[in-house]
Amino acid sequence: MQTRDDIFNTLRDALVELFELPPECVTLDANLYQDLEIDSIDAVDLIDHIKRKTGKKIAAEEFKAVRTVNDVVEAVYRLVTPAA
């Protein structure tokens, strides 16, 4: 998972697998809580899934700020990309 596209594809696959969402509903603009109906327990499962895929954990405080799929993509991108 090096590019934002890679991260999005992995995240979309995870959301489809973990929460049985239709792939076409998982877009960058989709709101996790309103559009995809992800609740706080689901968010913890998603954070855990990301940790298993990347070997790194998103801080709970940072995850509280995410609202859309794109927000998650950006948070993971910052996590896996070394600072310049």
pTM: 0.88
The length of the chain is 84
Strand partners, 31: 68
Upper half-sphere CA count for residue 75 (Cβ side, 13 Å): 23
pLDDT at 32: 95
**CATH at residue 9:** 1.10.1200.10
Tens digit of pLDDT for each residue in 16-63? 999 999 999 999 999 999 999 999 899 889 989 989 988 888 887 888
Range of the domain at 34: 4-80
Write down the pLDDT at residue 1.
63
Q: Provide the domain count of the chain.
A: 1
Report the C-alpha gap between 71 and 76 in whole angstroms.
9
